[in-house]
Amino acid sequence: MSEVSVTKDAGGPEPATDKLVVLDNINKHFGALHVLQDIDLTIARGEVVVVIGPSGSGKSTLCRTINRLETVDSGSITIDDKPLPEEGRELAKLRADVGMVFQSFNLFAHKTVLENVTLGQTKVRRTDKQTAEQKGRALLDRVGVGNQADKYPAQLSGGQQQRVAIARALAMDPKVMLFDEPTSALDPEMINEVLEVMQQLARDGMTMVVVTHEMGFARSAANRVVFMADGRIVEEATPEQFFSNPRSDRAKDFLSKILHH
C-alpha cells in the first residue's frame, strides 16, 4: 500500500502521466457561503485518497466538482491532462471515464439491476447488447449480487443497491472512481459488504477518491488522507501519520470527537 508516493510535498517534478486528477486553486460559493477555498489537490494514477472532515466542510462538494456535477467559480480541474470542458457532449464523454457512486445509490428505478449496469455501455459506449450483458453479469458477480440481476432496485437491500451502483460505474471502465459518502445511507450491518468491495477495488489498483466517515476504511485502504474543514484542505498525510499524529488542532479536535466511541 505504501509503494504509491504521497504526491503533495513530493520532491522533484513527476511525469505528467502520473497525475490523473489535478485540482488547481478551486473556489466555489453557495450564495454567501464560501464552500471551497483555494483547493489544490493532485491525485496520482492508482492512488486511493480518502477525504474526511466534519459535515459542511465541503468534502462532498469537492468530490462532485471533479466530474462537474458542481460547477466551480474559479480554478482549473484536469483529468488525465484534459481540462474539464463546458456542459455538452465533450463533458459527457469525460464523465463516462469518471465513475461516481452516490450516498443515495441513485440506481435507475425503472430499470432492472442488469439494465442499470448495461445502460451506460450500450447508450454511451455503444457496445452491443450481448457484450454489455456479459460484462454486466460478470461485474454483478464480482460485487456479489449476480443472482439479483433481473430484480428492480427497490427490491434490493441498501447494501446490495450500493454494490450494484459500484458495478454500474465500473461497467464504464472508468479511469478514476469517486465515492460520495457511499456508506452513509446504509444500515450498520450492510456497511461492511460495501466497504469490502471498495477495498478489493483499491487492491486492484483503481484510482479512487473516497469521501467517507469510515475511519477503518481510511486506515486500511487509503494511500493518503485529506482532512477538510470549513472549505479548506487543512491537512494531508498518510493514514498512519494522520491518525496517530495529526498536526493541526482542527484535525486533533475532529479525531478526538469521532474516535472515542
Q: What is the DSSP letter of 90?
A: H
SS3 220: helix
Per-position x/- string for 42-71, each x denoting binding to other proteins as judged by CB under 8 A, each - no binding: -------------------------x-x--
Our finding on whether 102 is near other proteins (CB under 8 A) is yes
Our finding on whether 179 is near other proteins (CB under 8 A) is no
Our finding on whether 37 is near other proteins (CB under 8 A) is no
Q: The C-alpha cell of 42 is what? A: 493532485
Among 31, 110, 204, 261, binds other proteins (CB under 8 A): 110
Only one of the segments 133-141, 161-169, 221-229, 248-256 lies at the binding site for other proteins (rule: CB under 8 A); that segment is 161-169
Q: ∠ at Cα 90 (89, 93), nearest 5°?
A: 85
Which residues 6+ apart lie within 8 Å of 164 measured at CB?
A: 105, 107, 113, 116, 117, 140, 143, 145, 148, 153, 156
Residue pair 208/177 in contact (Cβ under 8 Å)? The answer is yes
Our finding on whether 258 is near other proteins (CB under 8 A) is no
User: What amino acid occupies position 150?
Assistant: D
Among 109, 150, 245, 253, binds other proteins (CB under 8 A): 109
Number of residues in contact with other proteins under rule CB under 8 A: 32
- Least CB distance to other proteins at residue 14 (A): 28
- Torsion sign across C-alpha atoms 149, 152, 153, 155: negative
Among 52, 98, 145, 225, binds other proteins (CB under 8 A): 98
- Least CB distance to other proteins at residue 38 (A): 26
Helix 158-170 to helix 113-123 angle (10° resolution) is 20
Residue pair 25/74 in contact (Cβ under 8 Å)? The answer is yes
Which residues 6+ apart lie within 8 Å of 23 measured at CB?
A: 39, 40, 41, 42, 62, 65, 66, 75, 76, 77
- Least CB distance to other proteins at residue 89 (A): 6
Q: Tell me whether residue 30 or residue 108 sits nearer to other proteins (CB atom).
A: 108
Our finding on whether 172 is near other proteins (CB under 8 A) is yes
Q: Tell me whether residue 89 or residue 260 sits nearer to other proteins (CB atom).
A: 89
Q: Tell me whether residue 181 or residue 236 sits nearer to other proteins (CB atom).
A: 181
Q: Tell me whether residue 168 or residue 250 sits nearer to other proteins (CB atom).
A: 168
Query: Residue 170: enclosing H or E segment and its boundaries?
Result: helix 158-170
Binding site for other proteins (CB under 8 A): 67, 69, 87-89, 92-100, 102, 104-110, 119-120, 123-124, 152, 154, 165, 168-169, 172
